Amino acid sequence: MDYRSEDFLVDGALRDVCVLDAGVEDWQRMLSSLSSTGWEVSFATTLAEEPPGLLVNARELFDLLALDGEASARLAIHVEEIWFTCYFFDVEEIEFTFDPEDVSDEASFRSLESFIGWLGDSSRKQVVMTMEGTDHRSMPAILEYQPA
């Protein structure tokens, strides 16, 4: 991946880092690998009761969210100077959002590259970065990563 400043112009839109065609097993691998990253992690839900270990049990989390249509969950991962935030909208797509203003040079781009590589390697799926949106399949990829 190469840093291109034009991909991170501050234009009022966030950027999305996504795993398309995901399943609960991909989420589980991603969540389970978080503890080995050393990154700061913040997790919160609006669920009435959070069972212990919820962050590491993707199936249980999605089941609980499905039972309460008003509930939500948020996972934020801090990689150097960039916060990546995920809201568990859809089990079929792992989507993290970040502010392009946080990627201002080669050094901060390496943090993004590290996050994208980790996401792809842990989920064992291709990762794409797009402009912020809801239909990532139809959007052109700004960056792509395919795990080995």
Distance, CA of 15 to CA of 12 (rounded, Å): 10
pLDDT in tens, 84-115: 999 999 999 999 999 999 999 999 999 999 99
* pLDDT on residue 51: 57
The percentage of the chain sitting over the pLDDT mark of 90, rounded to a whole number, equals 77
* pLDDT on residue 48: 74
Domain that holds residue 134: 5-145
Number of domains in the chain: 1
Distance, CA of 146 to CA of 128 (rounded, Å): 9
Mean pLDDT, residues 109-137 taken together: 95
pLDDT in tens, 24-50: 999 999 999 998 999 999 998 888 766
Domain at 122, CATH number: 3.30.310
SS3 for 79-98 is: ECCEEEEECCCECCEEEEEE
pLDDT band at 53 (very low <50, low <70, confident <90, very high): low
